[in-house]
Amino acid sequence: MSKAIKQNLADSKKMSAELFCLTYGAMVTEMLKDYEDPKDVTIQLDKMGFNMGTRLADDFLAKNANVPRCVDTRQIADVLCRNAIPCYLGISATASSWTSGDREFTITLEANPLTELVQVPAHLVSAGLSYSQLIAGAIRGALEAVHFKVYASATDTGANTEIRIRFDQVLKDSLPAGEDD
């Protein structure tokens, strides 16, 4: 999201969802030309998302001082669905399909703005392209910035996008002083 200096920095400047969708779409199609294998495009989208996520985490925390430090995956899911995703994508999200002792869960984005105007060709999907993997990468990067290691993968299904998140571990070595128990 671009931002201009204005009187109230706390209010994020809104941008057109269509412009965002078109920009992302142009980027993905350009990457599909650059890489021969759609799997490679998915990997790059995840990498780009990760880099965005490590920076967005601080942006989110700077503007939401009341978000508590998460001590549970359910809490992580709650913050993502109630605060983070509505803040940056302007849509609601829900967590479901908890498995493996609450280590795995699915975040469902209803009306993903990235895919609103997009019909991904079936042969690209079957060849390994995950169109919304950037969002999954951003979640992975943001959680790593606050010292949680997770794996995330995105699947687009109709108007929805499902992001499967698997919690791996707390990154104890990088926890700042005062942030551990």
Partner 1 sequence: MSNHIQHLFIINRAGSLIYSWEARTETPEVEKTYEWPIDVHLEEVDQKAVVVFGEKDGIKLRYYVKSVNGETVSGTRLQLGAQQVNVLEYLQEEDHYPVTVKFAAPTVSTNEKIILSSMFHSLFTIAVQLSPCQKSSGVEVLETTQFKLFCLQSRTGVKFVVITSAASNIAADSLLSKMYELYTDFALKNPFYSIDMPIRAQKFDEAIKTLLERAEKNNGAVTF
Euclidean distance between CA atoms 64 and 124, whole angstroms: 39
Euclidean distance between CA atoms 81 and 73, whole angstroms: 12
Q: Which of 47, 63, 82, 103 binds partner 1 (CB under 8 A)?
A: 63
Q: Which of 33, 69, 123, 172 binds partner 1 (CB under 8 A)?
A: 69
- CA dihedral 157→44→69→147, nearest 10 degrees, is 140
Q: Does 14 bind partner 1 (CB under 8 A)?
A: no
Helices and strands of the chain, counted as H and E runs: 6, 4
For the CB of residue 53, give the shortest distance to partner 1 in the complex, in Å.
11
For the CB of residue 15, give the shortest distance to partner 1 in the complex, in Å.
14
User: CA dist 44 to 8, 91, 132, 181, Å?
Assistant: 35, 25, 12, 36
Q: Which of 9, 117, 127, 159 binds partner 1 (CB under 8 A)?
A: 9
Euclidean distance between CA atoms 34 and 68, whole angstroms: 42
For partner 1, give the closer residue by CB, 13 or 39: 13
Cβ atoms 136, 108 nearer than 8 A: no
For the CB of residue 94, give the shortest distance to partner 1 in the complex, in Å.
24
For partner 1, give the closer residue by CB, 24 or 130: 24
User: CA dist 87 to 10, 14, 30, 152, 181, Å?
Assistant: 12, 10, 28, 20, 29
For partner 1, give the closer residue by CB, 101 or 176: 176
Q: Which of 19, 36, 66, 176 binds partner 1 (CB under 8 A)?
A: 176
For partner 1, give the closer residue by CB, 34 or 58: 58
Tally of CA atoms within 13 A in the half-sphere of 8 that contains its CB: 4
For the CB of residue 149, give the shortest distance to partner 1 in the complex, in Å.
14
Contact residues toward partner 1 (CB under 8 A) are 3, 5-10, 54-55, 57-59, 61-63, 65, 69, 145-146, 174-179, 181
